[in-house]
Each structure stands twice: as structure tokens, then as C-alpha cells.
A and B are shown apart, each in its own frame.
Chain A
Amino acid sequence: MIQPIVFVVVTIAAFGLAFVQYRRIRRNVLLGQDEAIGGPKSRRWRNMLLVAFGQKKMFKNWIPAIFHLFIYVAFLLTQIELIEILVDGVTGHHRIFAEPLGGFYTFLISFIEILSLLAFVATLVFLARRNLLKVPRFHKPEMKGWPFTDANLILYGEILLIIGIFSMNGADKVLQSLGAEGYHPTGDFAVSSWLGPALFGGLETGTLMVIERFGWWLHVLVVYAFLNYLPISKHLHILLAFPNTWFARLTPRGQMKNMPEIQKEVAAMMNPEAAASSTEPQEETMPLFGAGDVFHLSWRELLAAYTCTECGRCTAECPANITGKKLSPRKIMMDVRDRLEEVSKNIDSKDPKCFPENPQTPLPNRLGYDDGKSLFDYISREEIHACTTCNACVEACPVLINPLDIILQLRRYEILVESSGPSDWLPLFNSLENSQSAWAMSSPRDAWNQ
């Protein structure tokens, strides 16, 4: 009787804690600016099914894609087993679906077992790849410390989960063959029907029961720990890859977000009469000129920051990074997330220092939040200036993140709000303003046409 009670308490605690954490993430994402979601639904479905569910972009590189797929599918299917675990846990039954499902149950569990075995191999390969092989993208400066530990932790967790599954099923198979009471036959599972006897054959019934329970609880606890670990980990992508690919921008890649306020102002400058007679009401709120902090990015970009898998495929393709510049598109995404987490902590602690009566920030945010810091405390000028807008990072990202959009908004903030930026650009701007061409030349534009 004690087991179901413990189970219910642990389950409620795990889900309750998770609820609080995911609600916080939702709130943080919504700190961003509103952005309308345009484009046909059919293309969104396509993106989500192909890129998130089908992992299409992973398959640009087959070997990691296959191993990643093993872990991913095993993880998805293990959650089917979790349904039984939940029912068993609450009711105190043992494998409640075994009898009603019959042969199908055997098939299902066998399938999960085979995938778990493949996932086990994949996990070992990934551990070796991260820690022994020096794949450069895993050892960039932004991966030092927590991000590196984070990547390994999940792999250890996966191993624990698989140990749990096989101890549970293996011990069960041996108990069944001994005819122990309560362990009804389930048919032969693909892996544990030979692995079980090999590992646990000859043990006493009592010991076997302990092993079976140990495996069962290990399985449950790892899954619950996982659920609560995701919000602080890059592995949040398991969940967020779906909304992130669904909400990905569908406008042409080469189209930067238009700034209607500036468009209107310039139009008025160029045609003062038309503007004076216009009956359009003047905008009251202060317009956004680029982004200096997380509040100025769109919620979509904040969602992307939480979705980033920190895989570094973007950085590995970035021409600036390849040639030794400090810019790394992955770091841009990680910095946005870190800054957002900092803001989130301050908001939660209601730190009065962060809510001054008269905020200093030149750009609006709904909360009146101002801690005297900005995204530029995380991302240096040197980084954003090095970008060639080549879109290699955008092309590379397996979950449709666009680090370039964020870089360009930071550049806008620098030029439009701070009036700073690389001094090398001043002659360019001057010449564009005075002679409408990128170089100041004494000869006319069509001198070549003689």
C-alpha cells in the first residue's frame, strides 16, 4: 500500500514543480514584442513535420543524424511505456496492459527495447564524440563550464534510463520463468528475454523483485528529473523545437524586417505636402529602433533562444568564426537566453532596484524594468560588427533559428539609438547621403557608358 502513496506524492511534486518552471518560461518568452504570425498554415505544418518531427535538417550529415534519431525515437516511444507506469503506479497493479493487449504488448515493449539498445549505443558514441574526439564546434569558448556539463549530463541520464528499463524488464522475465506470483507472462521481449537470464539468472526471487522495483523506480525518477531539468538545459529543444519550427518566419530570407515608423518619417520628409495633409493620427508610443535588450526582440526570437540546442552547427559554418573572429551565432542565442534568465530572476525576486520610478532605458518595455544592463553586457560590439550577413547560420540551424535577425537588430540599435557603430562606416554613410552611391566619386555614375 505504501508504494502507490509514495508514487502519487512524488508524481504530484514532479509535475507541480515542472508546471511552475514551464509557466515561468512562457512568461519570459512573452516579455518580447508582439509579432504577427503570417504565412499559410500549410507551410507551417510542413516545417514542423519535416524539420522538427522528421529532423530533415539533421540529415545534412548522416552519421550524427542517425544516432540522434535513435535517441530521439527511443525517447518518444519510452513515453508510451510511461502511460502504463503511471497507471500501475497509482493503482498498484503490475503491467496492467500486458493482459488486455496480449501479443501487441510484447511487440510494443520489444520495439522500445530494441530502440533503447540502439539509443544506448548512440549515447556511448555521443559521449565519446563530445569528450574524446575533438570536434571543434563542441569546444568553442562559449561551451566552457555549464554548457559542456549540460551536454554530458543528459547523456548520463539517458544511460540511467536505459539501465532502468533493462533491469525492470530483465528481472521481470526471470521472475516470470520462475512462476513467481503476480508476474504474468508477457511473451518474449526482444532484448530482455535473453539479457535478463544472462544478467540475473540464478538469483533468488526476493532479490529479483528488488531489482525489478529498482529498475521501475529508476525509470520513473529519471523521467521526472528530466522533466524538471529541461527548463534549465539546452535539451528544452526536445519540446520547443515543435513550436519554434511552427512559428519560424516565412518571409523571404533576404528581406529584413521593415521599420514602418522610419518609412513614414522618410516619406514625410520627401513629400512634405502630402504628409501635412494626411489625416492619419500620430503614433503616441515611442517606436522601437532595433534591439538593445531582450524586451525589444520579438517573442519569437526569445522562444528561439530557449529552443537553441547549442549544437554549434551555425558557428561551424560562420565565415567570421571560421577565420578566428569572436563572433559565434550560437553564442548570440545563448547570450539572449542568459540575459533573459537574468531578467527573469530579477522580476521574480521583485528587486526594487530593477523597477526605478523613471527608467533610464531609451527604448520602452512594458514592465518599467531597468537594471542598468542590456544585451550589450553579454554580446560585444566586436561580435556583431564581424557579421557578413551571409545566412550560413540560418541555413545550418536544425531547428530553424535565425541568429542573423538578432545581430541585425542589435546593429540597428547601435546606429539609430546610440549613434555609434564602426567609424569605418562613416564615409560610407556620408557618401550614400550626399551622392547616393556607396563610394564618393568625382566622375558621374554612368561614366562607363561612353
Chain B
Amino acid sequence: MNRIPTMAELAAEGRQPEVLFWVGCAGSFDDRAQRVTRAFAELLQNAGVDFAILGQEESCTGDPARRAGNEFLFQMLAQQNVAVLNMYGVKKIVTACPHCFNTLKNEYPVLGGNYEVVHHTQFLLQLLKEGRLKVEGGSFRGKKITYHDSCYLGRVNGEYEAPRALLEALDADLVEMKRCRTKGLCCGAGGAQMWKEDEPGDKRINVERAEEALETGAAVVASNCPFCLTMISDGVKAKDKQDEVLVYDLAELILNSK
């Protein structure tokens, strides 16, 4: 991956990119999610997409604050982001995080932030259809892969097909879990759960989901969300299956298909 220019740098040259890549907190700071960020950026560069990031001018979208109930914090973060985005005249945003995707798409318009927002799986599919992105599919041909619907891409925003279409392009053998699409089970991280201990119960949600993924006998679990990625990986580890079953983001699968 080559270094990605920031919006500020491009603006200084009087340029505006085709699309802004919104990285998000997980994609910026979490080691595992950073790998997804780089993989996706590399795919964009390979496809010759003209894009930039906000760099240090990006803030959290405010999703966890809002869903925890802290509206003040949400408004502070969101209004600051809207101001920055509008200052650069951003029209189109792509992000690899379904929570960022949802907040940017559904919650910013009321605050004066109107953008075309796409999730990275949708964007990759688009590039594929336009022939800008090539998927050789070599390493995953016929391999059993199961796909975990994230809540905020699937149930909340109704996108079930784009990620599956990418798996199809990989020529992988997609095996569905018992609970999928509208009934897909949450990984347990949403609603700011990521930042707190579970309430008392019988089991962790991510372990329940990992068990379901393991039941399919798939060698790879495909995910579209940095939080799901962490949760399911931890669940698979809790079952001591981390050496047999690998958890990847779709962008990584496509990059590694050659």
C-alpha cells in the first residue's frame, strides 16, 4: 500500500478526490482492523480509484456515544465531523465500518451532512462490475466460506447481497449459518457493548455466534465489520479453533485471492 493523501493535502493542491475513505476508530487504532484498512486501501489503489482520507481531522462518528445514551457527546463529534466534511465539499464517502456507514448515512443528514455513503463491500462490488478490480479467485476456489451478516449492514440497512456477490466472485463455496440474513445473530459488540463487560448470563454472544460458524464446517468466516471481526475471532479462539478456522474481512479475502 502506498501512502494515502489526506483531504487537506489535496485541497492545498486545489484537488478534490472522487471519494473519501472514512477509516473509523477501529480501522485507525485496532491492530487487526488496521490490516483491513490497508487491504482495502491497496485494493482501491490497484483499481486506480482517486481517493483520500481525512487523517487526523477525522473523529469518531459518535455511534457508540449515541447508542450508550450520551447525546451530548454524539452531537459534539457529529457536528464537528459535518463541519469538516462540508468544508472539504465531500460528496461521496466509502467506509469499511458498518457503524460509521450507518451514522454517516442515516444520522448526519438531519445535522446538515448530506453525502452519498457506501459500504466498502458495495464499493468493491461496483469496482468489480466496472472491471476496475480483478478477482482471480485462485486461492479460495471451492473453499468452504461462511458469511456473518453484521447487524448494521444487514438488518439495519438492508444490504445482504453485495458481500455475498463478492464471495461468489471468489468462486468460494458459500455455506450459510443457521441464522443468516434478516435473522443473522449479532456478534455482541453493537450498542457500545464493545466497551463494557457483559451483563450476567450463560454465555458470551460472540461464543454463541462462533459456535454457529464452526458448525458449518467452513474454513473461513467472512466478515464486513471491524467489531464483528474482533468478536468472532475471540469466539473462535474461545473454542480453541483459531488454527483451523480463520476470520477475515471481505477486503482481505479479495486482496489475498491471487
Contact = CB atoms under 8 A, between A and B. Distances in A.
B68 A415 contact: yes
Interface string B30-58: 10001001100100000000000101101
A436 B156 contact: no
Interface stretch (B11-19, B125-133, B164-172, B187-195): B187-195
**Nearest 3 A-B pairs (CB), nearest first?**
A324-B202, A411-B69, A424-B196
Contacts of B62: 432
Contacts of A265: 72, 75
Contacts of A448: 28, 34, 37-38
Given A256-B67, A422-B196, A438-B64, A319 B188 contact: yes
A382 B198 CA distance: 10
Contact of A323 (B151, B182, B189, B205): B205
Interface of B: 3-4, 6, 23, 25-26, 28-30, 34, 37-38, 41, 53, 55-56, 58-60, 62, 64-73, 75-77, 79-80, 83, 102-103, 105-107, 110-111, 151-152, 155-157, 182-183, 185-186, 188-205, 208-209
A424 B200 CA distance: 15
Given A262-B75, A263-B79, A395-B182, 19 more contacts: A253-B155, A254-B102, A320-B199, A322-B185, A322-B205, A324-B202, A326-B199, A386-B199, A386-B201, A387-B191, A390-B155, A411-B69, A416-B70, A424-B195, A425-B195, A428-B65, A432-B77, A445-B55, A448-B37
B64 A428 contact: yes
Contacts of A392: 151, 155, 183, 185-186
A450 interface: yes
B202 A389 contact: no
A84 B64 CA distance: 59
Contacts of A386: 198-199, 201
B201 A256 contact: no
Given A390-B190, A445-B29, A436 B59 contact: yes
A323 B191 contact: no
Contacts of A255: 106-107, 110
A429 B34 CA distance: 22
Interface of A: 252-256, 258-259, 262-263, 265-267, 269-270, 289-290, 317, 319-320, 322-327, 382, 385-392, 394-395, 408, 411-416, 421-422, 424-425, 427-429, 432-433, 436-439, 441, 443-450
B25 A254 contact: no
A317 B59 CA distance: 33
Nearest to B193: A388
Contact of B73 (A253, A429, A449): A429
A258 B108 CA distance: 10
11 contacts: A253-B155, A254-B105, A319-B205, A323-B204, A385-B199, A386-B201, A390-B186, A390-B190, A428-B65, A445-B28, A445-B56
A436 B80 contact: yes
B65 A432 contact: yes
Contacts of B76: 266, 269-270, 433
B201 A325 contact: yes
B55 A317 contact: no
B184 to A, nearest CB: 8
A412 B69 contact: yes
Contacts of B41: 449
A446 B59 contact: no
A424 B192 CA distance: 10
Contacts of A266: 72, 75-76, 79
A386 B201 CA distance: 10
Contacts of A253: 155-157
A317 B56 contact: no
A438 B69 CA distance: 15
A141 B128 CA distance: 51
Contacts of A267: 75, 79
Nearest to B27: A448
A314 B140 CA distance: 37
Could you say which of B56, B75, B190 has the most chain A C-beta atoms within 10 Å of its C-beta?
A: B75
Given A256-B107, A323-B203, A446-B6, A425 B67 contact: no
A428 B192 contact: yes
Interface centre among A265, A323, A415, A425, by most chain B C-beta atoms within 10 angstroms, is A323
Contacts of B30: 439
A277 B211 CA distance: 59
B86 to A, nearest CB: 13
Contacts of B79: 263, 266-267, 270
Given A388-B188, A415-B69, A449-B53, A320 B196 contact: no
Given A256-B66, A424-B197, A429-B65, A391 B53 contact: no
A252 B4 CA distance: 33
A183 to B, nearest CB: 55
Contacts of B157: 252-254
Contact of B185 (A319, A394, A437, A443): A319
Contact of B202 (A269, A290, A323, A446): A323
Contacts of B25: 437-439
Contacts of B65: 428-429, 432
B201 A427 contact: no
Contacts of B83: 270
A416 B77 contact: no
A424 B79 CA distance: 25
